[in-house]
């Protein structure tokens, strides 16, 4: 089977504290600038992950375990300090609601902007425009500037554009949480449809029942390390401490 996502030994550290007192900086200077003045946090520690085409994977773990950071590396919005990430085919990600949207533009203009960013041509967007608006169900608001949208409306339009790009690899972070129940159901049905078409899916969620329904594989992260990788039901049982 073809590999869709290949993550090899990635490490990511974040700077937690930039500022230091003058005294600390002075001591650091007279000691010959030894060590690092800023405090670092190791968010991903040598993570390896291989996802085959058509696999549906849930990234699970407690708050701060590194799930979103890993997903951002797969989508390419973050670059690892060391290690490599490779993806095959068109990747569409719903990582942060409204990311890639320009606040002062209308929904319509943002469909074109976001669609282009995600790799669609103008003709493809023209062709799919009505379907994008219909799926989002935001009606006349399509010509309103998106800064006046509610977070649910942002999600509707962003999700709709992303699924209409016909991605090979679809990445979804917890964002479905801001949609109302009918729209969530519609998104889940769409995600299941994509999975049924053999698309690769990586989902970050705390909703264990939901991921059990849409994913086949569960990857459990703990303090930036993968501690379990296997069938979703085993991963969920582990999360629940069973």
Which positions touch ligand ATP (CB under 6 A)? 14, 41, 43, 61, 63-69
176: which 2 tokens? Answer: 């479905």
From residue 202, alpha-carbon distances to 33, 59, 77, 182, 217 in Å are 43, 7, 15, 22, 10
CB of 31 to ligand ATP, least distance (A): 26
DSSP string, 11-64: EEEEEEE----HHHHHHHHHTTS-S-SSEEEEEEEEEEEEEETT-EEEEE-STT
State the Cα–Cα distance between residues 84 and 225, nearest whole angstrom.
Answer: 16
**52 touches 4 (CB < 8 A):** yes
Q: What letter does residue 142 receive in the DSSP assignment?
A: G
Give every CB contact of residue 22 below 8 A, 6+ residues apart in sequence: none
Nearer to ligand ATP, 161 or 211 (CB): 211
CB of 221 to ligand ATP, least distance (A): 6
**CA 99, 53, 3: angle at the middle one, nearest 5?**
100
128: which 2 tokens? Answer: 């799919």
Q: Kindly report the three-state secondary structure assignment for every residue of 199-215.
A: CEEEEECCCHHHHHHHC
117: which 2 tokens? Answer: 């960013």
Nearer to ligand ATP, 72 or 217 (CB): 72
Residue count of the chain, please give it: 242
């Amino acid at each position: 089977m073809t590999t869709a996502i290949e993550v090899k030994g990635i490490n990511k550290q974040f700077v937690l504290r930039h500022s230091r007192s003058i005294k600390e900086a002075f001591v650091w200077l007279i000691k010959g600038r030894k060590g690092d003045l800023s405090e670092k946090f190791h968010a991903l520690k040598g993570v390896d992950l291989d996802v085959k085409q058509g696999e549906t994977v849930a990234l699970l773990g407690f708050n701060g375990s590194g799930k979103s950071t890993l997903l951002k590396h797969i989508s390419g919005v973050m670059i690892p300090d060391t290690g490599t990430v490779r993806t095959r085919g068109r990747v569409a990600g719903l990582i942060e609601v409204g990311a890639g949207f320009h606040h002062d533009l209308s929904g319509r203009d943002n469909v074109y902007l976001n669609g282009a960013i995600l790799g669609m041509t103008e003709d493809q967007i023209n062709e799919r425009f009505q379907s994008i608006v219909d799926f989002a169900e935001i009606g006349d608001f399509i010509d309103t500037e998106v800064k006046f949208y509610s977070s649910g409306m942002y999600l509707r339009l962003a999700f709709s554009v992303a699924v209409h790009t016909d991605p090979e690899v679809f990445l979804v972070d917890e964002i479905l949480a801001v949609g109302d129940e009918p729209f969530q159901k519609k998104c889940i049905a769409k995600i299941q449809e994509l999975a049924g078409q053999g698309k690769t899916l990586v989902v970050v969620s705390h909703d264990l029942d939901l991921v059990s329904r849409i994913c086949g594989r569960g990857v459990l992260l703990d303090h930036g390390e993968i501690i379990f990788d296997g069938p979703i039901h085993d991963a969920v049982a582990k999360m629940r401490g069973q």
